Amino acid sequence: MPLRPIWLCRCCAAPWPCATARLTLVAEYAHDRVALSVYLCAMLHDAAEDLYRLNPHDGPDPATLFRRFLAWVPRLRTGPDDR
């Protein structure tokens, strides 16, 4: 879990989710990637709110938060045409 409201990893102080947290989350949600995405969307929402409160004049960049929280999640493959 992240150190809130600054959203750093409690173990390594890297931006959460750090590499270790990502591996742990993928393992925990190995059989339910949709749930992982929903969970991370909720975390992204909370992080955006917390980080904006900490610095409203130069708030968090939405694209950066998307890459940090969601872009790394392995995509679901639903058929042979998915690549």
Domain boundaries, given as residue ranges, for the chain: 2-71
- pTM for the structure as a whole: 0.87
Give the pLDDT of residue 18.
98
Give the pLDDT of residue 59.
86
28, pLDDT greater than 90:
yes
List, in sequence order, every residue forming a beta bridge with 15; answer none if it has no partner.
8
In degrees and rounded to multiples of 5, residue 38 shows phi and psi of: -65, -45
Report the pLDDT averaged over residues 11-37.
97
Instruction: Say if residue 31 is exposed, middle or buried (CB neighbours under 10 Å; 0-12, 13-18, 19+).
Output: exposed
Give the pLDDT of residue 83.
57
Amino acid found at 83: R
Greatest C-alpha distance within the chain: 46
